Structures are given as C-alpha cells and as structure tokens.
Amino acid sequence: MQVQAREIGTGLFVFLGFAALLFLATQTTGLDEFFEDSGYSVTARFTEVAGLRPRAPVTMAGVTIGRVESIRFDRYRLDAVVTLRIRSEYDTIPEDSTASILTAGLLGSKYIGLTPGGADESLEEGSEIFLTQSAVVLEQLVSRFLFGGGE
Amino acid sequence: MIFSGLDLTIPQGRITAIMGPSGTGKTTLLRMITGQLAPASGDVRVAGQSVPGLPREQLYQLRRRMGMLFQNGALLTDLDVFENIAFPLREHTRLPERLVRHVVLTKLQMVGLRGAARLMPAELSGGMARRVAMARAMVLDPELLLYDEPFSGLDPISLGVILRLIRRNNDTLGLTSVVVSHDVEEIAQIADFCYLISGGRVVAAGTPAELGSSDDPLVAQFMSGAADGPVPFHYPAEDYRKELLGGG
Amino acid sequence: MVAEPPGFFAGLFRSLVRGIAKLGAAVLFLGDILRSSPYALRRPRLLAEQVHNTGVLSLVIIMTSAFFVGMVLGLQGFDALARLRQEDLLGAVVALTLLKELGPVVTALLFAGRAGTAIASEIGLMRATDQLSAMEVMAVNPVGRIVAPRFIGGVIALPLLAAIFSCIGIFGAWFIGVAVLGVDNGAFWTQMQEFVSTEDVREGVVKSIVFGIAASLIATFEGYNCPPTAEGVGMATTRTVVTTAIVVLILTYIITALLL
C-alpha cells in the first residue's frame, strides 16, 4: 500500500511537471509561432535595418500579421534582405505596399509596418516588396539635427 | 607509510588471526586484500591472482569469491534484513524469487535470525547486526571470509555467539578465514595461526599458544596487556620535571 | 591597518590550487557517474525512487515559495509599471522574469537546500558506516548503485520542479495583479503572449537542466567524498548548499550571456 502511494506520488509529480512545461510553452508565448510554416514569405530590401531582429512583428494598421523570418546581407548589392512570413489568411495585401522599419516608442524594439498600396495584384509566396523605408538610426538623426548636415 | 617489509601468508582452510595495537593498519591490510587500496610497492596475491594489477571486471569477479564482515556490520540502511542478505544474490545472479528466499532463509537460520527477516537494520542490536552481516558475507558461498574487528563492543553473550559462528563456518564450510582483531583472549580461542604486526612489519608469528609463551618483550606485553613496555605508556614528551618547573 | 601576513599570497595560491583540484575531481566524478549510469538506467525502480525522493518531497516547498515569489513579483511589478502607466504589461514582465531567471535559479537554490542536503547526508552516512565499502567488497559498484540513480533523479526532477515553479509563480502574480489590484485579465495574458517567445521558455529549460546537473553533481560529490565522521557529514551538507548557490549564480550569468 505504501509502495503504491509512492508510485502514485512520483507519477503525479512527473505528470505535473510536464503539464507545467506544456503550459509555459503554449500559454505564455504567442501561439502563432507554432503555425509559422502555414503562411507565405515575401522579401524586402532595406539599406538600413539596425535594431531589427528575427521574430520581430510585421504589422499592418497596427495589427500583427506576421513575423520577420530572417535577415541577411547581400554582398553584391550591399543592402539587407529581410524575409517576412505572413499568415496565409492575409492574402489580400497589395503588391505595391510599402514596408517600413518602425520603432515601438522612442527607444523601443524595431518592427516592420506595412502600408497598403493600390495595386490589384496581391503579395504571394516569393514576391518582393519594392517600396521600403529603412530604419531611422537615432544617432544619425541626432547628429544631423545638432550639426546641421547636408540638407 | 603504514607498512614496510610486511610479508605474510594466509593458509587455506584455516582461521588466521592478524593482531596488533590500534593504528598499525590492520584494516588497511584487509582493504589491500579486497583490492580497495593498492600498496605503494609490493604485491598482494589472492588465489594466485595479483590483486593490485587487476582490471575492474576481474577484480569484481575475484571479490565475488570473498566475503567481508565490517566492524559495525555495514548493513544497507534502506533495506531490511532479508533484502540485505538477498542483495548480493540479486546483484550477481538471476535466481528465481523462490530460490532467493530459500537461500536467504537458510543463511538466516544459520545465524539464528530467521525470525528477524523483516526488521530494519536500525532495529537490530550490535550483535544481531553483525550476525546479519555475517549471513550476508556468506550468501554467495565465498572461499575467503575476512572479519574486521568482529569482537569489539559486544556483550559477552553476543561475543560467544560470534566466536562460535566463526569457528563453525570455518569447519563446516571449509573456507579460509582472516580475523583482524586486538582481542587476545578471543583470538586465542579460535585462531589456528596468529600474526602480530607492529610498526609496519610482522613481529611475531605462530599458534596462539606459541605467542602466549613468547619471551619477546613486545609480544609478551601485547599478549598480557601490560601498560608499559616496548610500547611505552607515555606519548613521547619532554622531561616531566623540566616541563613542570620550566613554566611557560 | 594590520599589514598583510607574509604568507598571504602563498595561502591564496594554495587555496586556488585546492579549488582547481576539487573542480577537476568533480569533473572526473561526473565521468565516473556517466560511465556507471547504464547500471542505474537498467533499474527503473531505483530511478523512480530517487525522482520521488528529490522531486515529490521538494514539491511542497517549491509550490509554496513559487506562489509567494509570484505574488511579490505581482506587487513590485505593478508598482513599477503603474509609475510608467504600463500596468497591462504586468503579465509579460512577470512571465519573463520567472521563465528566464527566477524560476530556474530559485528552484535550484531550494533544491540544494531540500534535496541536495538530503542526498549529501545520506551518501555521507553510507560512507561513514562503511556501507559503500561493503558494496565494493560485494563486487557492486557504489557509484552505479547509489550515486548514479540520485544524480539522474535530480537531473530529471529539477527541470520539472522549475517548470512548476514558474507556472505557480505566474498564477501568484495573476492573483495579486488581476484578482486583487485590478489589472485587466485579457491584457495580462495577451501582453504575456505578445512578448514571451518560445526562445525564452527554452532558455529557462536549458538553465534548469544545467542547474539540475550541477546541483545533483555537487550533492553526490560532497556526500561521496566526505570524511567518514559525523562532522564530515555535517560539513558535506553545508558545503553542498554553499557551493550549489555560488555555482548556480555563476552559471546563470554565463548561460544568459551566451544565449542573449
């Protein structure tokens, strides 16, 4: 009887532990990461992506519609190629939409905001967003303001 | 350095006693026989095999042919008496449960503790624990049985029981026994042959009777238990008078 | 000021050498455990018994501490976020703190105090009463029979305990934040899901596995190598807690720096 109580206790403990792990993995994190592969990816070229990280949100009208999948450097064109993965349900985004790297708050993390264009064709797997607006680097902005560069 | 130039032979099928004052490394000697310690130089041979050089597998094979009774029994505290004795069987054999039970109960009967099979080690008296340990040491029917201070701290009745068991094991099972002890009287009753070691070497060897009548002062002092002699009563110190008067 | 004793640096050097020697001995001991673990893995009953001893018996202390740690995080987090007018972020802040850092670290410290000391004193007592020697003479490797099951049991139990700790902690914070202080329930959870990524969960799990290895190794090592006396066993348990605390805090920094 005592042996049985011990076995039940051990089993219960292991069950509880894994239940807790499952809870942490699913309930505390954004679920969409589990459905990442359902969706289509598009690319966009930026001259400056400072501060943007993989997994950063991609938003349109303030709603998260996807995530940044990868960021790599093009050694010939010397710019950054960002791959975005957008959920398959949002398949009506015009081809000529603009992608901008924005900042949450003044010093917050970087994300990508899409502004809709007017074309009839929609973005689909493998298409490229040609209209992009690069990240604003705060240091450059400040120095331009202080030292009255170029313009 | 505990031993220097120690050389002794254990005759097969006999009870050999190894005696000596406390701290002469008697237990160390046993640990060398079982291969838990290796001598810095020299050799230990058991059943024709050199123990210090044996790889682990073969050492473990050799150890299955030995049993050892530790000073306080060294029973596994989380197992009851029955399981303690069954432990070597379960580890080294694939005997069916019925046979395990049979062997364990036979050994328990031999030490007179069959009724205590389900007690935990903490519930046993010192003498009982040692008898259980003896049953455990014998459960694989070893050829060599080592006893480390089997008589210390026992009441006269338990002492008598242990003495009789050691003698009987040796005679009826034909095994070789080595008893490490400094209890002269008890050794005299059971040992066939004695070694007296002191200062890292064998100072005397012979039957208990021969040692008892020895005129070597060290042997005589040890056998009679005199307070002063070649082993001095006083720990080495400055002259008593000088130290008392010298202030400090 | 008293001048430094002349042997100060020599003493420092000696204790440094001693420390390095001990680290080396512990690593070799780990190798010994791993070599002997097939023995333990073939005996699931022994393992289950140790998971019970280390996990189930630590469960009450883990759950109680977790709930209070969570409530404190809820209070402090709410206070700090309210000054920034960002109370909605409470769930995210609490979950990140617990998952990445506090869960694994506090669990490891409590584990050292509850299960680690029990393991060290149990093995130490076996050493002091010759049980380990007796096993060796019976041709049973005590590292496989005694040490490995306890080590593996600890390595299994600690990550599970840490996960339970983080969960209960989040509910503790939810209780204070949402039920008592009136943070919006939906905001609490959605903000959490917005900011916590699976990588954060993974970081916590990696940490708790590493801590499980470290805490179990330290406890078994101290017990196995303790002087066979009553004081020796006492010192081994004390050293288990102290060493585990220091090692865990150093390791958490190293892992965080590596993973960030």
Residue range A134-146: average pLDDT?
79
Residue in chain B closest to C131 (alpha carbons) equals B74
Confidence label for A2 from pLDDT (cuts 50, 70 and 90): low
A57-60 and A40-46 strand pairing: unpaired
Q: Do B20 and B231 touch, CB atoms closer than 8 A?
A: no
Identify all chain C residues contacting B121, using CB atoms and an 8 Å cutoff: none
A19-75 confidence digits (pLDDT tens): 998 888 887 776 555 445 568 889 999 988 887 877 788 888 888 888 888 899 999
For B126, B227, C89, C139, the CA distances from C198, given in Å and listed in that order, are: 59, 77, 18, 48
Which of B72, B77, B87 lies nearest to residue C138, judging by beta carbons?
Answer: B87
Identify all chain A residues contacting C156, using CB atoms and an 8 Å cutoff: 14
CB of C130 within 8 Å of any CB in chain B? yes
Which of C131, C137, C139 lies nearest to residue B76, judging by beta carbons?
Answer: C131
Please state the domain extents for chain B: 15-214
Helix axes C198-224, A2-27, angle to 10 degrees: 140
Q: Higher confidence at residue B184 or residue B16?
A: B16
Strand partners for B181? B19
CB of C35 within 8 Å of any CB in chain B? no
Identify all chain A residues contacting C95, using CB atoms and an 8 Å cutoff: 28
For A20, A99, B128, C123, the CA distances from C129, given in Å and listed in that order, are: 40, 73, 16, 10
The CATH class for the domain spanning B15-214 reads alpha beta
Is-above-0.90 flag for pTM? Answer: no
Which pLDDT score, from 0 to 100, does residue A37 have? 58
CB of C133 within 8 Å of any CB in chain B? yes
CB of A6 within 8 Å of any CB in chain C? yes
Q: Do B104 and B86 touch, CB atoms closer than 8 A?
A: yes
Closest CA to A132 of A109, A102, A90: A102
Which pLDDT score, from 0 to 100, does residue A30 have? 66
Closest CA to C93 of C83, C104, C80: C80
B180-201 confidence digits (pLDDT tens): 988 888 888 888 888 888 877 8
Q: Do C123 and C223 touch, CB atoms closer than 8 A?
A: yes
Confidence label for A1 from pLDDT (cuts 50, 70 and 90): very low
Strand partners for A58? A66, A112
Confidence label for B56 from pLDDT (cuts 50, 70 and 90): confident
% residues pLDDT > 70 (chain B): 98
Phi and psi angles of residue B68, each rounded to the nearest 5 degrees, phi first: -135, 135
Q: What is the mean pLDDT of each run of 10 residues along chain C (260 residues)?
A: 68 88 92 92 89 90 95 94 85 93 95 95 93 90 93 95 96 93 85 84 94 96 92 94 95 89
A128-129 and A40-46 strand pairing: parallel
Identify all chain A residues contacting C49, using CB atoms and an 8 Å cutoff: 6
Q: Which chains touch C (3 or more CB pairs under 8 A)?
A: A, B
Which pLDDT score, from 0 to 100, does residue C219 have? 96
